Structure 1
Amino acid sequence: MTVLSLLPATELLLTSLFLLACILLFSTIISCRPKPPALFPPGPRPLPLIGSLHLLDLKHMDTSMMKLSKKYGNVFSIDLAGLRVVVLTGYSTVQDALVNLADQFSGRPHNPLFDKITFRMGVIFSDGKLWQNMRKLVLSTLHGFGMGRPLQDRITEEVGFLVSQIEDQKGQPFETLPILTPATGSVICSIIFGNRFECDEERFLRLVKMNTEILQLMSSVHVQLLNFLPWLSFLLSKTKIIRNRDQMHKIIADMIQAQDNRTSVSDKLLFKLEQESEMEDVKMRDRNTLCMIMDLLVAGTETTSTTLSWGLLLMSKYPKIQKKVQAEIDQVIECSRCPRIEDKRSMPYTTAVIHEIQRFTNIVPLNLPHSVTTDTYFRGYLLPKGTYVMPILTSVLQDKTQWEKPEEFYPPHFLDGDGKFVKRVAFMPFSAGRRMCAGKDLAKMEIFLFFTSLLQRFNFQCPPGEPELDLTPQVSFIQSPRPHKLCAIPR
C-alpha cells in the first residue's frame, strides 16, 4: 500500500496536482535554458536553477575552478545559476587572452554586485567608451601629479608617522593590519585631496573601516548567493555593502567640497571631467566623479596594506630571510637616511623578496571579471560578444610550469645564479593587459618604501610563547592574513 493511497481523495488530488506542477515547472526550466552556442568551451552539466553552484566552494572559488580545469581543460565554461562564464587557467592561457588579445578581452561584464556598488561608473567597473575615457583621465592625472620626488616625500612622511606608532608599542605584541591600513590610506588621501589625514581623525577612520567591510562582505557566502541567483539579486540593495557605499560617497563629497588645495588629484579630475566629459547630466557626472575617487581609495588602500601585512608576517615566519634583507638594506642605505626608490636598483635580494611576497600571497586570487568586446575565436572556441570571462590569477601565480616551488615562499624565484634580480613573465599580481591596475606604479613605490623602512628600523618576530605563525589566508575579496600579532623590536 502506498502513501498516496492512504490520503483522502481531495488531498490526493491536490498532492497529485502539486507533483504534476513541479514536473511541468522542472521540464519548462530545462527546455527554456538556452543551449550553449556552437564551439563554446566545454564544462560540467548544469542543474536547473542553480547551474553548477553545487560544484563550487564559494569561499575558495579559485581553487574550485582550478580543480574543474583538470577535468575540462584550461579553457572551460561553467553555469552559475544561469550566468554562463568562461574560465581561463594557467599562465599561457591567461597571457594569451589578456595580453595577446588585449582589446578583445578588455570588457567588463554585468555583475549584479559590482553594478549595484559602482553604477558601472568610475574606472574599475565601467565599460566601453566611458571606461576608456576614465582610465585615460586617471592615468594622465596621476602622471601629471608626479610619481617622482614629491610623491616619495609624501610616502616617507607617512612612514615616519607609522614608525612612531610602532615604537609606541615598545616591543609588545600588536596587530599590523589595523595600523598599516590607515597609513596607506593616508597616502592615497593626501594625493586625492591634497591633505594628509591624521590616523585618528574620525571621518578618515570611518572611510577606512567601511572600505574594509565592503571588501570582506563581498566574499561572504550569502552575498555571493545573492549575486549568482538572479531572482534574489534585488536583495543586494538591502545589504550593508550598499549602506557603506552611500556613506563613503557622502564623506568623499564633503571632503571635495571642503578642500582648499588646488593641486590635488580630485581637483584636477573635477576640472578635466568638466572640460572633457560627454555627460550633460550634472548629477550623473558628479556620481561618476564619486565612483572614480572611491575606486582610487579602494585600490590604493587595502591592497597595499594587505601586501605589507603579509610581508611582515612572512619576515617573522622566516627570520633568516629577514636578516638577509636587513643586511642588504644596511649595505646600501646609510643608517641616517630613509630608503629611496632609487636604492631599489642596488637591492636585488630585497626586490626579489617583495616580488615573492606578492606572488605567494596572491591577494586578488580570482582577478576581476572580464568580457569579450566582440565575437572572439580563442584556442579553438567561439566566445560570443559579451561573454563573461574569469581569468584566475591563482592559476598563473602558482603555475607549476612557471615556478620551481609554486606553493612555497621562495625568493630565488626572482634571482639568477649570480644573485641578480630577474623578471618573470608569469608575475601578474596587478593582472595584465588593458585592465591592469591603473595604480600599479604607486603601489610598487609604496610597498618598497614602507617595507624597507620598517625592516631598517625593526626586527619583526612572533610573540614569545605564541603558537607558530599561521599563513592560512582569511577569506575575503582581497586575501588577507588571519588576525595575528607580531612584536617589533627596534634594531
Structure 2
Amino acid sequence: MAILGAATVVLLVCIACLLSFASWRARSGKGKMPPGPAPFPILGNMLQVKTKNLAKTLQKLSQEYGSVFTVHLGSNPVVVLYGHDVVKEALVDRADEFAARGHMPIGDRVSCGGEGIVFSNNKEWLQVRRFSLSVLRNFGMGKRGIEERIQEETEYLLEEINKTKGTPFDPIFMLGCAVANVICVTVFGKRYDYKDKKFLALMHNMNNIFEMTNSHWGQLYQMFPKILNYLPGPHNKIFAEFDGLKAFVSEEVKMHQASLDPSSPRDFIDCFLNKMQEEKEHPNSVFHMENLITSGFDLFFAGTETTSTTVRYGLLLLLKYPEIQEKVQEEIDRVVGRARKPCVADRIQMPYTDAVVHEIQRFITLLPMSLPHTVIRDTCFREYVIPKGTTIFPILSSVLYDSKEFPNPNEFNPGHFLSENGTFKKSEFFIPFSAGKRICLGEGLARMEIFLLLSTILQNFTLKPVVNPEELNVTPVLSGTGNVPPPFQLCALPR
C-alpha cells in the first residue's frame, strides 16, 4: 500500500508539471508573454534562479532568451528587461505605461498595502510624491541651503574620524549617522549626536534591513510570501526592524503635533500635518496619519541607507586602488586646497574626482535590479503582450555594465567617465537612480552628498587598509535587489 501511495504522489506531481508546462507554452511566444524557462508548479523557476546573486542569474538567462524574457519567482511571472534599449524604452519612452510600482512583498507589507512614496501603487501616489518633492525643495534640496547643511555635517563626521587617531575602525555607523542627519533636519527638524543610543539603534535597524532583504531568506520571502507569512524563520526579523523605524517616526509625529505652529512649519512633518488640516473635510484625501508616518519613514530610510552604503563602498574601492585615491587628493589640493571645504561648484573643475564618484556608483550598482515596476494595462511591448499587473524588473546593472559604453565593465576604472583630453564625459547609460517617473526622489541630494562627503574625507585624510590592498575583496557579500558590500576596516591618517 505504501508503494502504491508513493506512486500516486509521483503521478500527481508529474501531471501537475505537465499541466504547468502546457500552460506556460500556451502563454509565451510572439503575440503572448515573453519567452523564458519552463516553471515548476509553485516553485516556478527557483531551481534556475540563484537567490545569492539574482542579477547574475538573469544575465545568463538573457543570453538564452534575449532582452525581454519571463521568469517565475515562485508562482508569479516576472518580465525582465535586460539592456539599455529596452530599459529606456519602458521607463522613459513609455513611462506612463510602466510607472506603477510592481509587486514586492516585503515593501507591500511594510507600506500597509500602498501608503507612502516608495512602495505605493495607487492613483494617489503621484499627489504624495509631488507634495513631498515640493516640500523638500522648499527646505533647500538641490539648492545652496542643503549644500550648507551637508557641509556642516561633514564637520561632525571629521571630528568622529579624528577620534580614531589613525587606528583601525569600521565606518559603517559613522557614515550612516552623517547621511541620516542631513535628511533628519529636513524631515524631523533636528540632527542627532553620533553617540545617541536611540539614533545608533536606528542605524542598526537600517543596516539589518538592507542585509536581511538581500539575504537568502529575504529573497525567498519575495518569492513565497503567502507561505512564509505563516512560518517561523529569520525572514520575520526583517519586519521587526521595520517596526522599530516606524515607531521612531510615529513618535516624532506625535511630538510635532504637540508643538505645531501652522504659520511656521519647521520641516516635512509640519508641512504634512498642515496639509492634513487643509484637507480634513475630504474623506478620501491621501493626506492622513498613516500616509504621513509611511512617507516620513520612506524619506528617512531611502535618504540614509542607499547613500551611506554608496559612500562606504566607495571608501572600500579607494582602499583597494590607492593610486586612484592619490589622484583625487592631488586634484582636491589643486582646486580646493586645504583652507576651505569642497563645494558643489568645485565639481566642474574636478573632472577626475567627478569621474571617480560616477564610477563608484556604476561599479557597485547598488540596486542592480532596481525596484520592480508593473504595467497598468495589457501592454504590447516589442513583439509580446504583457498582461496588466505583471511585475517588471528593469535590470539597471545591464545598462551600467554595458561593455560597448563601458569597456571592460568589470574593472573599476574612472576613465569610463573621462574623455581623451581628461574632461568629464557624461553618459546616458549612467542610471544608478533608475529613470523615468519612478526615478529616485532624492537623486539630487544623494549625488551632492556622495561628492561632498568623499571629497571632504579625502581632503583631510589619507585612507589606509588594514591588509594588503590586493587582499581586499570588493565583491558584494549579498546580491539580491541590492548589493551589500563586504565588511572592512580602515585607518584614516590626517594629511
TM-score, normalised to structure 2, is 0.91
Choose from 380, 393, 406 the match for 1:390: 393
CA shift, 1:270, in A, is: 2.6
Counterpart-to-counterpart distance in 1, 2:163 and 2:282: 50
Distance of aligned partners of 1:285 and 1:325 in 2 relative to their CA distance in 1, 3 Å threshold:
same
CA shift, 1:355, in A, is: 0.4
Asked if residue 487 in structure 1 is aligned to residue 480 in structure 2, the reply is: no
Distance of aligned partners of 1:326 and 1:392 in 2 relative to their CA distance in 1, 3 Å threshold:
same
Preserved CA contact (<8 Å) 1:226 1:236: no
Question: What is the aligned partner in structure 2 of residue 4 from structure 1?
Answer: none
Q: Secondary structure in 1 aligned to 2:47?
A: helix
CA shift, 1:481, in A, is: 2.1
Asked if residue 401 in structure 1 is aligned to residue 401 in structure 2, the reply is: no
Counterpart-to-counterpart distance in 2, 1:104 and 1:346: 40
Distance of aligned partners of 1:328 and 1:25 in 2 relative to their CA distance in 1, 3 Å threshold:
closer
Q: Which has the larger radius of gyration?
A: 1
Q: Match for 2:329: what amino acid?
A: Q
RMSD (Å), alpha carbons:
2.3
Asked if residue 299 in structure 1 is aligned to residue 302 in structure 2, the reply is: yes
Preserved CA contact (<8 Å) 1:227 1:233: no
Aligned residues: 479
Structure 2: gaps of 5 or more residues: none
Question: What is the aligned partner in structure 1 of residue 57 from structure 2?
Answer: 64
Question: What is the aligned partner in structure 1 of residue 171 from structure 2?
Answer: 176
Asked if residue 40 in structure 1 is aligned to residue 33 in structure 2, the reply is: yes
Asked if residue 193 in structure 1 is aligned to residue 188 in structure 2, the reply is: yes
Question: What is the aligned partner in structure 1 of residue 8 from structure 2?
Answer: 20
Question: What is the aligned partner in structure 1 of residue 148 from structure 2?
Answer: 153
Cα deviations by residue, 1:119-149 (Å, 9 ceiling, x for unpaired):
2211011113121111111111111111322
Choose from 321, 345, 348 the match for 1:318: 321
After the TM superposition, which of the residue ranges 468-477 and 189-198 deviates more from structure 2?
A: 468-477
TM-score, normalised to structure 1, is 0.92
Q: Mapping of 1:236-255 within 5 angstroms?
A: 239-255=236-252
Question: What is the aligned partner in structure 2 of residue 5 from structure 1?
Answer: none
Counterpart-to-counterpart distance in 2, 1:77 and 1:408: 30
Q: Match for 1:478: what amino acid?
A: G
CA shift, 1:92, in A, is: 1.4
Counterpart-to-counterpart distance in 2, 1:174 and 1:279: 53
After the TM superposition, which of the residue ranges 59-68 and 15-24 deviates more from structure 2?
A: 15-24
Identity value in percent? 39
Choose from 98, 101, 113 the match for 2:106: 113
Q: Mapping of 1:328-343 within 5 angstroms?
A: 328-343=331-346
After the TM superposition, which of the residue ranges 460-469 and 260-269 deviates more from structure 2?
A: 460-469
Choose from 125, 138, 147 the match for 1:144: 138
Q: Match for 2:223: what amino acid?
A: F
Distance of aligned partners of 1:465 and 1:80 in 2 relative to their CA distance in 1, 3 Å threshold:
closer
Preserved CA contact (<8 Å) 1:266 1:293: yes
CA shift, 1:410, in A, is: 0.8
CA shift, 1:231, in A, is: 4.4
Choose from 110, 119, 126 the match for 1:125: 119
CA shift, 1:81, in A, is: 2.0
Q: Secondary structure in 1 aligned to 2:98?
A: coil
Distance of aligned partners of 1:312 and 1:466 in 2 relative to their CA distance in 1, 3 Å threshold:
closer
Question: What is the aligned partner in structure 1 of residue 227 from structure 2?
Answer: 232
Asked if residue 364 in structure 1 is aligned to residue 364 in structure 2, the reply is: no
Structure 1: gaps of 5 or more residues: 1-11
Cα deviations by residue, 1:301-339 (Å, 9 ceiling, x for unpaired):
111111111221222221221121111111111321111
Q: Secondary structure in 2 aligned to 1:55?
A: coil
Preserved CA contact (<8 Å) 2:347 2:354: yes
Q: Match for 2:86: what amino acid?
A: T
CA shift, 1:94, in A, is: 0.8
Question: What is the aligned partner in structure 2 of residue 258 from structure 1?
Answer: 255
Cα deviations by residue, 1:355-412 (Å, 9 ceiling, x for unpaired):
0110011111111001012222111111122121111111111111221121111111
Counterpart-to-counterpart distance in 1, 2:322 and 2:433: 27
Asked if residue 430 in structure 1 is aligned to residue 433 in structure 2, the reply is: yes
Q: Mapping of 1:254-293 within 5 angstroms?
A: 254-259=251-256, 260=259, 262-275=265-278, 280=283, 285-293=288-296
Preserved CA contact (<8 Å) 2:272 2:287: no
Choose from 343, 348, 353 the match for 1:345: 348
Distance of aligned partners of 1:21 and 1:471 in 2 relative to their CA distance in 1, 3 Å threshold:
closer
